[in-house]
A and B are shown apart, each in its own frame.
Chain A
Amino acid sequence: MSYSVNISVEAPIENQIQEITYDGQEIYQAPLTLSESLAKYAQKIDFSKINELETKKEPGDTSDDSKSDSDSKDSFQSNLWPWDSVRNKLRSALQEVCVLADVLAIAKDKRYMVLDPVQQEPVDTKPIVQMYARKKALAGAANVLLTGAERLKNSQNEAVQNRSNFHFELLRLRQNWRLKKVSNSIIGDLSYRTAGSKYSQPGIFEVTKAEDEEKPSSPPHSPLPGATPSVKSYSALRVTVPSELQGVAYISVLCQKDQEDLFSTNVNLLSSGPSTTNPDVHWQQKLEAAQNVLFCKELFNQLAKEAVQLQAPIPHMVVGNQIMATVLPGIQLIIGLCHSTSGDKKVPASTPAKTEHDHVLEHSLHQLLREVHHRNTHHPFPHPASGPLGPSKKRSLAGPNATDRYDLLEMTKSETLLEQIIKQAQHFFMRIRIGYVLDTIAKEVKDPLICSHWNSLNSPTQSCVKINIITHGYDVVYRTPLVIHIGEKTLKCICRDGKVMHMSYEPQELRDLIFCHINQHQILAVQSLAKIMGWQYLANSLHLGIGSVELLGNASSCILASPNGDRLIAVRCVPSQTGVQVSVAHSPRSDFFLVD
């Protein structure tokens, strides 16, 4: 506060910069001369304003004076001079005109006064350029509006046409199928070659634009693949499939026993199977059907090739569209390819008659070929740059692991599709047979109960069943467990004592084995019951050499003595008979007599 500093504000002495050259030099404007600057400042004075101020002040002063004189006079004066402002204006105008006349008169003489033009700061307004700029801006704005309108129109059109647009359909087609452009046409490929198939038949189809535009007014609806085919869906896209891939195809698997059908399976990748020759069918369904035909053909071709090459004891037969292979003696597996190009409903009419429909073989056949495809494309890692591509991982490790000849020979063996499907069919029959044998025995034999538990986890060619033989009411006393492994043509039975029995596909063998075990179970159950009851166990023989010759195996028996020793019991059990013979002896008497 006390150190107040005087600050002087003044214009910079520097002159205004007119231009800066590229080398940084500044070119200054030349300073105005005295007369020029005077003219400039004088020009800035607005004389009319000053005049007005003066004129305003003058009446104010007078009013002030009159106010001081008397109030009454003031009101009188204002009333007296209603034209006062007009008069003042006129007076000042007159004054100005007089002055102007004087000035003009003086200037005219050019002795005391000279009229000099003052340089105005130029305001370069080029009207042409301005007009052009406006025109351009307007055109830009119009353009934005027009494109917006165009877009709105387009989107509205699209909503109206709703996917019947050819290009939109083509885009959708492109998402699911392989397409390429060959000169002027679009060619697609529906073969499984990219998925690993080596089938030579080409699956080429052509994509064209639909010409028949007679129903553009049909109401738009989404032609989704899952949509019902009954709804006529208009599509701007036409798909032309080669004639050999048209129609519906499926593989039928039929099992025949002595010329009578056991069951049949139809491999049909399309469950509904609408006739694809109908031009109204959507291209997605048409292509799927064609691909299905191709797949079925490849599968059948492969199976037929293998059937001819395989050296089976009973040779496989390939007749026309049918392959016949013997699964088990008397049972034939017939694999047929059904392909109908006519598109009429004749083919589906024959299938519903066979209601016995098993999905297992259908699925297996399908899966087996897919597996082959997968193996063709997926080679085990690593892929050495120098090594061959194709051998299995085991084979490529055979060298460094020093695998011997036997294992190498094993590696070269591979199962064909037909062999695998025959094995699966064999196993299927084995399972049915074993199930039948076990069920009938359980029905026939009431005394020891036979419970069979089928393992839920099994492979297409191997399953396992666990059998428990128990005496009803005494199931804690003794039980005979058996495990049967069912293979393709053989059975393996693991008995209670750890013995392993190998059997063939004949169900009688298993039947005999189980009867033998029932027989053993009876005797052993009697023994363990006797032990609990405190009876003395004297002798036991599972294979009695005495008595009449049995049809099956040997009779077994055991001799028991009562706790106080006055009774003796002999139990005799024969496998072929269901009954059990019991002989009782009183100890005082030495002879045995037959009770039952």
Chain B
Amino acid sequence: MGVTVLQQFPIVEQRTGPSTIELLTKRIVALGATQQGQFLVDCETYSSVPQLGAQKTVHVLHNSEQPATVFSILETGSKTIPLITDGLFDLLMMKMSNFYQSKKQTKVESKGPRFEIGDFSVKLGSVAVSQNFKGILVEVEYRPCIVPAMCWDLIREFLQGFLGSSVTSTPPPYLQNKMQEVYTPNDTIQQYLEHFTVYRKSHFKM
């Protein structure tokens, strides 16, 4: 468990999603990385029925890196409450289908190959909102460190090394508030959720 930075990779006009993934794979393999299977992060969103009063939203996320865990984030409008639970939580959500109903067409997932290079692990995920390809999210994890401020520069350099100029020199906005704190798997999930929300909105615009 280390510090993870999630980075969006822009798709150039003439390229498709799979070809971009292929390009990045070539780059990372050229750096000496080895592929270690696949990964998958998915997000399902439920919203409360009107009888429960003010609308609340529950995002239920799974990360293949923590296979025994279900992450859920409750948004009440004023605050967000994260809840990290056992796998049985999925069954609990099914029982609560009378109160929290799954929104139509909102299942977001990011999946793709997973690489390891030294202390870094790199995941090239193609994001799909209800099976429609939306973009590419690159996740880089630096495993030996757990405080973002201490390894951000290293991660940035690594990211810039194979993603090019699309990487900004400032940390992602979510991490900026937590630079001195101990990084937890929940922070990774929060970053994913932020990106997923952005992708979803772009979906609604279209």
Contacts and interface: CB of A to CB of B under 8 A. Distances in A.
Interface of A: 386-387, 395-396, 398-405, 408
Interface in B71-95: 71, 84-88
A387 B69 contact: no
Interface stretch (B20-28, B45-53, B60-68, B190-198): B60-68
A402 B69 contact: yes
Contacts of B68: 395, 398-399, 403, 408
Contacts of B69: 398-403
Interface string B87-105: 1100000000000000000
Contacts of A405: 64-67
A405 B63 CA distance: 10
B185 interface: yes
A387 B86 CA distance: 10
Contact of B87 (A386, A399, A401, A404): A399
Interface of B: 1, 64-71, 84-88, 184-186
A134 to B, nearest CB: 83
5 contacts: A398-B68, A401-B69, A402-B184, A402-B186, A404-B65
B67 A402 contact: no
Which 7 A-B residue pairings sit nearest by Cβ, starting from the closest? A399-B86, A402-B185, A398-B68, A402-B66, A402-B69, A399-B68, A399-B69
A395 B87 CA distance: 12
B3 to A, nearest CB: 14
B67 to A, nearest CB: 6
Contacts of A395: 68
Contacts of A396: 86
Contacts, number: 42
A403 B88 contact: no
Nearest to B87: A399
A571 B99 CA distance: 88
B66 A404 contact: yes
B165 to A, nearest CB: 32
A395 B68 CA distance: 9
B192 to A, nearest CB: 13
B177 to A, nearest CB: 20
B88 A402 contact: no
A453 B71 CA distance: 53
Contacts of B65: 404-405
B84 A400 contact: yes
A403 B86 contact: no
A386 B85 CA distance: 14
Contacts of B84: 399-402
Contacts of B85: 399-400
Contacts of B186: 402
A371 to B, nearest CB: 26
Q: Which of A400, A401, A404 has the most CB of B within 10 A?
A: A404
A383 to B, nearest CB: 14
Nearest to B2: A404
A401 B85 CA distance: 8
Nearest to A407: B1
Nearest to B188: A402
B86 A400 contact: yes
B46 to A, nearest CB: 19
Nearest to A397: B86
Nearest to A402: B185
Given A404-B185, A408-B67, A408-B68, 8 more contacts: A386-B88, A399-B70, A400-B85, A402-B69, A402-B186, A404-B1, A404-B65, A405-B64
Contacts of B88: 386-387, 399
B74 to A, nearest CB: 16
Contacts of A408: 67-68
A406 to B, nearest CB: 9
Contacts of A399: 68-70, 84-88
Contacts of B71: 402
A387 B68 CA distance: 14
A416 to B, nearest CB: 24
A586 B87 CA distance: 84
Nearest to B89: A399
Contacts of B64: 405
Contacts of A387: 86, 88
A399 B87 CA distance: 7
A220 B67 CA distance: 70
Nearest to A395: B68
Nearest to B66: A402
Contacts of B87: 399
Nearest to A399: B86
A408 B63 CA distance: 14
B152 to A, nearest CB: 21
A408 B88 CA distance: 17
A398 B186 CA distance: 14
A392 to B, nearest CB: 13
A384 to B, nearest CB: 9
Contacts of B184: 402
B175 to A, nearest CB: 18
Nearest to A388: B88
B62 to A, nearest CB: 11
Nearest to B1: A404
A387 B92 CA distance: 12
Nearest to B141: A404
A408 B65 CA distance: 10
A410 to B, nearest CB: 13
A64 to B, nearest CB: 126
A190 B10 CA distance: 72
A267 to B, nearest CB: 40
Contacts of B66: 402-405
Contacts of A403: 66, 68-69
Contacts of B86: 387, 396, 398-400
A402 B84 CA distance: 7
A403 B86 CA distance: 10
